[in-house]
Amino acid sequence: MTSSVPLPGQHRPAQQGGGADGAPDPDAIRSEVGELLAEADRVAQIPSGEGTADVHGLVALTRRAQILGRAHDVLVDALSSVDKS
């Protein structure tokens, strides 16, 4: 009995809107990740501490973690698309 070995990225859904060969567009990925990192930087500039609504900075930290998680997902999806093409 022979079983196939899964390739990296096979568990992920197919990426939409790749290049002609199905590969993702590197410029689009750079742009999307860059926008997400800029958004994370903007969130980091929001004041926190005593006298603010975010006394311990946890709201901003949570928001930054969510944004960085989205950037990570973009990169993982791109790598997965490259694996499949």
At 83 the pLDDT is 73
* pTM recorded for the entire structure: 0.69
Tokens representing 69?
């998680």
pLDDT along the chain (85 residues), means of 10: 62 52 85 97 91 90 96 94 75
Give the pLDDT confidence score for residue 1 in this predicted structure: 52
The token pair that represents 62 in the structure block? 């949570």
40-51: string of b/e by CB count within 10 Å (b at 16+)? beebeeeebeee
